[in-house]
A and B are shown apart, each in its own frame.
Chain A
Amino acid sequence: MEPTRDTHATLVDLLDRILDKGLVLNADIIISVAGIPLIGVNLRAAIAGMETMLKYGVMQAWDTQTRAWESEHRKKYLPALIKDEDIALKMFGSYYYNKGIYNAWKPGFFYLTGKRLILYRQDFDEIIFQIPLEEIKALAIKEEAYFTKEKKKVICLIGSKKAVHRFSAAQAEILKDAIVQNIEARGFSLEKISDVSKLSDLQITTLLMDNESVLNWGEKIWYLMPSDGIAQDTWRSGHLFLTDKRLIWWYDFEKRIIFDVYTNKVISINIETRKTSGLSNCKEKVLDVIYQSDNVKKAVSFAGGEIEEWIGPLNEIVNNLTDLGSEAEACPKCGKEAPSKELLERGCSNCNWVSPMLGNKTKIIDAKV
């Protein structure tokens, strides 16, 4: 193999040598404009094109300009502050925005002032979230599984109307402590949150009736949605809520209440292990709630990992009802003892007998699904 010295083909090799190498002279006696090496780089860039130029830092000046412009604009855009409002803390973070079918973590910078907590997105000069400090009822930090499979610290803030807001922040603990300090410094006090794991930002709170408050809720609960048109019975996922007035099932996907019943209409509950799918033989614990609607007994079924935890709270409302009538009477059909008033007004919880007195024009639906 012969070495080549074809001038055209070896220009790059030549430049490599004469620009970066060669005998080096004492810098005192040679001229330099911003340093000799840079000149070499300038020449190289003219040869090598843009990509190399960036690599060798020729575009640094341009880059500096861009950065200066950016930081100038960053300075300009601060959330509009009220008179006497000072920023006490700025921290990168995000807010879990959840409205309609849209939900996402919206990022921005938290600005904690003496009056408000603001999440501000300077790119669009947009306030994503803000709350006056006095409206903050409680604060807690909750560890949540994040989609990266790591645990993430989430700040849960309870505002007015018991709405729960969720935030993440670069340093969640510091932000939370700063908010607490600021609130206490202004003479407000915070409520204690007894069970952090029960905090959820489901929008159910905004759909409750006046004076209605949630007593119990938890993890995902499946609901057997009745057949509709050509659609068969289908298990759908959502959340079950027990308030002091109603039992509500919230459909996560459509973000609305699909099922609700006044607790005083609930007749009985029943839990059993049975097949939940026609396709698999797998059996699961299913909770049936039998309730009265338009003088007809109806049943709904719920399932889920935490379904057994609902037996307690639901039994309580059923038991409260049994106080309605103190005299016991045997069901004329199956002979089961039940309070007479309940038997007359709601029918038999065992065999679904309903008193003809109720003038039932509709047929009785079998509680067994």
Chain B
Amino acid sequence: MKIEENVDSKTEKAIYVYCIAAGNAEADFGNMGLENNYVYSVSYKDLSAVIHSCMIEPYKSEDKEIVKAWATAHEKVVEAALEQFGTVLPLGFDTIIKGESGVTPEDNLINWIKDDYENLKQKIARIENKAEYGVQISWDPKVIGEKLIEDNAEINRLNEEIKSKSKGLAYMYRQKLENLLKKEIEITSEKYFKDFYEKIKNCVDDIKIEKTKKVENDRQMLLNLSCLLPKEKSRLLGDELEKINSIEGFFVRYTGPWPPYSFV
């Protein structure tokens, strides 16, 4: 009946997509999806989409704990798929495919894979057997500053002069010193950035520079990288990072392996 076809959006279904995987083995992940939804795969040729069936509205919440649980669930599914299929193209959170008049969401999904098939195959080839690793190097400007005072002749001289000055003059000198130090730190940071970037680049297959972020404990993030490399090479990168971590005042965060979110 015509009326029954015109269902309202509350009951209309859509598809939440976790990732596109290489292979067409039918997979059943059980109720591990967002909000314990049943996760399964649909295939086109030798590609599969890992999905769950959902309402036609995005997942959104202001509640930190709920969001955390969702994000973690999303990641868990992608990782499970990675284990099962070997190579996956992860999708961002909240990618939900809708249906159109006369086309089911599932058809929409298959049509999209069909249209984009070559492109998807290329992407899979690029990341095959590889994983993403996050590298964040931060430093403590205080420690670096102290080192600069020792090493830089002009700054050192100023620093010594302050001690012999009257209160007012010392204040002015300190400002001068701070400015000089700031400039010097900038130059140094650029130098380190280039140095570290080159070193890390030599250990990985692909590299992306991300925006630096605020970090705690008065530290400054010097560089934030996403690296693509075969898992077995993660040791090699780790060794290089260990060297950087052992320099006084520098701190390295090394995370992964991640599904290659940054390289799809």
Give me the interface of A with B, judged by CB distance under 8 Å. Answer: 1-5, 7, 10-11, 13-26, 29-33, 36, 39-40, 42-43, 45-47
Inter-chain pairs besides A1-B241, A29-B112, 6 sampled, C-beta below 8 Å: A18-B92, A19-B92, A22-B90, A25-B95, A40-B93, A43-B61
Determine whether the beta carbon of B93 is less than 8 Å from that of A23.
no
Determine whether the beta carbon of A22 is less than 8 Å from that of B95.
yes
Assembled-state Cα–Cα distance A235/B259 (Å): 81
Determine whether the beta carbon of B92 is less than 8 Å from that of A20.
yes
Q: How far is the CB of A190 from chain B (nearest CB, A)?
A: 49
Would you call B23 an interface residue if the criterion is a C-beta within 8 Å of the partner chain's C-beta atoms? no
Determine whether the beta carbon of A23 is less than 8 Å from that of B60.
no
Known A-B contacts A1-B241, A23-B91; the reply to A31 vs B57 at CB < 8 A is: yes
Total cross-chain contacts (CB, 8 A): 132
Determine whether the beta carbon of A1 is less than 8 Å from that of B239.
yes
Report chain A residues within 8 Å CB of B93.
Answer: 18-19, 22, 40, 43
Determine whether the beta carbon of A33 is less than 8 Å from that of B58.
yes
Would you call B171 an interface residue if the criterion is a C-beta within 8 Å of the partner chain's C-beta atoms? no
Determine whether the beta carbon of A1 is less than 8 Å from that of B242.
yes
Would you call B85 an interface residue if the criterion is a C-beta within 8 Å of the partner chain's C-beta atoms? no
Determine whether the beta carbon of B58 is less than 8 Å from that of A36.
yes
Known A-B contacts A14-B75, A18-B74, A21-B261; the reply to A1 vs B92 at CB < 8 A is: no
Give me the interface of B with A, judged by CB distance under 8 Å. Answer: 14, 17, 19-20, 56-64, 67-68, 70-72, 74-75, 89-98, 100, 108-109, 112, 116, 123, 132-134, 210, 234, 238-239, 241-242, 245, 252-259, 261-262, 264
Known A-B contacts A21-B262, A30-B95; the reply to A4 vs B254 at CB < 8 A is: yes
For B235, the closest partner residue in chain A by CB is A2
Assembled-state Cα–Cα distance A368/B56 (Å): 101
Q: How far is the CB of B244 from chain A (nearest CB, A)?
A: 9
Assembled-state Cα–Cα distance A46/B65 (Å): 9
Q: How far is the CB of B87 from chain A (nearest CB, A)?
A: 13
Q: How far is the CB of B21 from chain A (nearest CB, A)?
A: 11
Q: How far is the CB of A150 from chain B (nearest CB, A)?
A: 22
| Chain B residues touching A, majority SS | mixed
Report chain A residues within 8 Å CB of B254.
Answer: 1-4
Report chain A residues within 8 Å CB of B68.
Answer: 11, 47
Assembled-state Cα–Cα distance A46/B58 (Å): 15
Determine whether the beta carbon of B112 is less than 8 Å from that of A26.
yes
Determine whether the beta carbon of A23 is less than 8 Å from that of B20.
yes
Assembled-state Cα–Cα distance A3/B18 (Å): 24
Q: List 6 A-B contacts (CB under 8 A).
A: A13-B255, A17-B261, A18-B71, A29-B98, A30-B96, A40-B94
Q: How far is the CB of B82 from chain A (nearest CB, A)?
A: 13
Assembled-state Cα–Cα distance A19/B95 (Å): 10
Assembled-state Cα–Cα distance A212/B70 (Å): 86
Assembled-state Cα–Cα distance A21/B127 (Å): 15
Known A-B contacts A17-B261, A36-B58; the reply to A23 vs B98 at CB < 8 A is: no
Known A-B contacts A1-B245, A42-B62; the reply to A30 vs B261 at CB < 8 A is: no
Determine whether the beta carbon of A5 is less than 8 Å from that of B256.
yes
**4 smallest beta-carbon distances between A and B, as pairs:** A22-B92, A17-B261, A1-B238, A21-B261
Q: How far is the CB of A53 from chain B (nearest CB, A)?
A: 10
Q: How far is the CB of A17 from chain B (nearest CB, A)?
A: 4
Report chain B residues within 8 Å CB of A33.
Answer: 57-58, 60
Picked from A13, A25, A36, A42, the residue with its CB within 8 Å of the CB of B134 is A13
Report chain B residues within 8 Å CB of A21.
Answer: 92, 261-262, 264
Report chain A residues within 8 Å CB of B74.
Answer: 18
